[in-house]
Structure 1
Amino acid sequence: MPLASNLLEQAASELIARRKSGQPGPRLPEPCRPADLEDGWQLQQQVTRRLGLPIGGWKAALPSPGKLVVAPIYAPTISDAAVCSLPFVMDTDSVNVEPELAFILNDALPVRAHAYTEAEVDAAVGSVHAALEICASRYNNPAELAFPELLGDGLVNGGLWLGPALTTTALPDVSAFELTWASGNEPAMKVQARHPDGDPRAPLYWLVNFLRARGLGLQSGQAVITGSYAGVLALPSRQRVKFDYGELACFEVEFGA
């Protein structure tokens, strides 16, 4: 049975209050918790409507049993500044990020009756960037939540840092690359980064038609991220961190002013 409208509203109000205060909290009261994926999606959409913030991008992954990985990224939480001072990272000693690629749309993909082809989606992409998804939950212990609760809160998204564009949008094989990062005098960390869905474009193709079927389009300038290449990395705040995405991109970023 779908979450009643008054309970959906109560849940959205609490999550919005936590977003605005920057203070996470406990699980919602049991009657307000989304019980299935549709409830989670509806709660996420209600939060978006109530917040009234422009959507600057989306995160997505290919669906799997019991999981629907799709969430908006609000424009005020997207930055490309070398010193990223978005409010949710200002007063913490570390920032959790996920290394990703971001597809920036040059052309809109509006709602229409028939599905978009992969070629049409490819043609709409203007550039591909190295990116870091910033992880921040509105819950104290997100690991304890059922997946619909995570979905309702935007899947632990706290924002997006956009790095440099890759040299070409006609991508080589980017299912894997050697990822290196280092901060201060600490030894460099190195892993063999792999995309969880193999082809990083596959979730983009899925997202476009999922949103289309839900009466939502994608706008020019929006960014789409499609999965972490190396899980979650804990970076120190207020220190310059250097990243090397193999031969794809190099950049430096500092979180917190």
Structure 2
Amino acid sequence: MSAEEWNEERVAETLLAAEAERRDLGRFTDEWPGLDLDTAYRVQQLIVDRKVADGETVVGVKLGLTSRAKQQRMGISSPLTAVITDRMVLEAGVPLQTDELIHPRVEPEIVFVMAERLEGPGVTGASAMAAVGSVHAGLEVIDSRYRDFSFALPDVVADNASSARFVVGADGLDPKGLDLRLEACVLRVNGEVVDTATGAAVQGHPAEALALAANELGRRGEAIEAGSIVLTGGLTDAVFVHPGDEVSVEFTSLGAVTLPVRGGS
């Protein structure tokens, strides 16, 4: 397709079809130079609007590219934001069905549930943390619609930052008294340790990532609402999973979450 034939609506429709049909795509930025970051966020919103029209409910926000090193490589200074809906929620103990996805990968996350609305500009790490009601262990399943997870920055933003599924530990803790910078996690697949990290992997502290995201959303006239679930960003690299696997993460204070992986409904 020529560059002149692409527009925001066509990119959104193509990504939605790829998700529904479980097929991967090449980068849009290779064909459409007009897909810049602001345009990509408009595409993302078109996709979310379509999902809501189809009966899904927005439940929160996910943050992506929360590693400072990755941000520098991508030429940005704050995390990406994406939207999560109720269809992406996996209840504890419910298996991930790989036949609903393309090439899923899993990463451990520190998850916030917001007690208060958070709106930029001017949000700091301290004021962001003061708006958090509870902190939970979590696992996020990402599933890029791009072939081999290969994309430029606007591509991944348009694709709602590879959002797919997530599971959140039921037992949240009061953020007061927690040192999330030092909160450690161990990621296991089939009982074998595959990675470890601490909360410092997320922007130095997850509250700093939350503040930067709130300020960026504020620039676009948006806010993080009270009651929202916030996936603060992967603590480790994401690992590919396959039917029969069992993924688990264990945190120092936040407890553990386990995700069985299956191949059929």
TM-score, normalized by the shorter chain, greater than 0.5: yes
1:175 corresponding residue in structure 2: 181
Say whether 1:79 aligns with 2:85.
Answer: no
CA distance in 2, matches of 1:27, 1:190: 29
In the TM superposition, what whole-angstrom CA distance separates every residue of 1:178-234 from its partner, at most 9, and x where no partner exists? 4334454x5444534452411111111122222222121222321112222111123
Question: What is the rounded CA distance, in whole Å, between the counterparts of 1:192 and 1:172 in structure 2?
Answer: 16
Equivalent in the alignment of 2:47: 47
CA distance in 1, matches of 2:164, 2:202: 20
Distance between the aligned counterparts of 2:216 and 2:85, measured in 1? 19
Per-residue CA deviations over 1:115-164 (Å, capped at 9, x if unaligned) read 44555433331111111111101122332x22211111122221221124
The SS at the match of 1:230 is: coil
1:248 to 223, 245, 254: 254
Taking the aligned partners of 1:6 and 1:153, their CA distance within structure 2 comes to 15
What displacement does 1:170 show?
Answer: 1.4
Aligned residues: 249
Which one of 126, 129, 132 corresponds to residue 139 of structure 2? 132
Q: 2:230 matched to 1:224?
A: yes
Letter in 1 for 2:49: R
After TM superposition, the score normalised by the length of structure 1 is: 0.80
Q: Distance in 2 between the 1:46 and 1:149 partners?
A: 14
1:150 to 2:156 alignment = yes
Distance of aligned partners of 1:195 and 1:30 in 2 relative to their CA distance in 1, 3 Å threshold: closer
Percent identical residues: 22
- Output the TM-score relative to the length of structure 2: 0.78
Any stretches of 5+ residues in structure 1 without a counterpart? none
Q: What is the CA–CA distance in structure 2 between the aligned matches of 1:22 and 1:223, rounded to whole Å?
A: 26
Tell me the distance in 1 between the aligned counterparts of 2:109 and 2:207.
12
Question: Is the partner of 2:17 in helix, strand or coil?
Answer: helix
- In structure 2, the CA distance between the partners of 1:117 and 1:228, relative to structure 1 (3 Å rule), is closer
Distance 2:4 2:207 in 1: 36
Q: Which residue identity is paired with 1:73?
A: I
Aligned to 2:206, the other structure's residue is in SS state coil
User: What amino acid is the match of 1:50?
Assistant: R
What are the within-5 Å matches in structure 2 for residues 23-172 of structure 1? 23-28=23-28, 30-32=30-32, 35-52=35-52, 53-60=56-63, 61=66, 64=72, 66-67=75-76, 69-85=80-96, 89-90=98-99, 95-109=104-118, 115-116=122-123, 118-143=125-150, 145-172=151-178
Assess if the C-alpha contact under 8 Å between 2:109 and 2:235 holds in 1: yes
Cα RMSD (Å): 3.2
What is the identity, as a one-letter code, of the residue corresponding to 2:147? N
Distance 1:48 1:129 in 2: 25
